[in-house]
Amino acid sequence: MKKIAISLPLAALLAAVPVMAHCPLCTLGAGAAAMGAKSLGMDSTIIGLFIGAFGVSTGLWLGKKIKKEYFKFQLWAIAIASFLLTVIPMMKIGGDMDVIVIPMRLFGDIGTMFNKVYWINKILFGSIFGGLMVGIAPYLSSKMTELRKGKFIPFQGVALTLVTLGIIAVIFQLVI
């Protein structure tokens, strides 16, 4: 039984065909990273980063399943709807006071637009970056393939997406 349990995933990896689009692997990777970040007690911004990536990745994956285009930018409309339907319910994970405070003391009287304190929910802040990164990843992957003269690494899109999200997560952990 142990041999079967080890050989099946190995056979699946060896038989895998290269995919150059958003797929269940990106979605699974982003969702697993969000759960892992939460269980490790990381900052809510990092959890939001992976939640936003999960939302956009899910939307792009499901949007590509619809064969007929009913309106212009249908794929991105589905991705944005998926992002909002994923992120908005999750914004309460960190609590009401889990915010990034941005003091704007540029000029003018107290209370004017340039002399206020603004805040943004950490989950929302991170998810915006995560969603943008997943949206940009296919472009970066195609440019990387172009630079390598048509050659690509197996699972290049997934690896590029998750590595880039990991780098952004490290930056957020150190800065925020």
| 25-29, 108-112, 127-131, 150-154: which is most confident | 127-131
Tens-digit pLDDT profile for residues 105-116: 777 777 777 788
Residue 152 to residues 17, 76, 121, 143, 167: CA-CA distances in angstroms?
12, 25, 38, 10, 21
Domain positions in the chain are 23-93+123-175
- Euclidean distance between CA atoms 110 and 121, whole angstroms: 23
Instruction: Calculate what percentage of the chain has a pLDDT beyond 70.
Output: 83
Tally of residues, the chain: 176
Find the mean pLDDT for residues 58-82. 91
Find the mean pLDDT for residues 155-165. 88
Find the mean pLDDT for residues 74-83. 93
User: Would you say 57 and 27 are in contact if contact means Cβ atoms under 8 Å apart?
Assistant: yes
Q: What is the pTM of this model?
A: 0.75
Tens-digit pLDDT profile for residues 19-42: 434 567 767 777 787 788 778 888
In the chain, the largest separation of any two C-alpha atoms, in whole Å, equals: 74
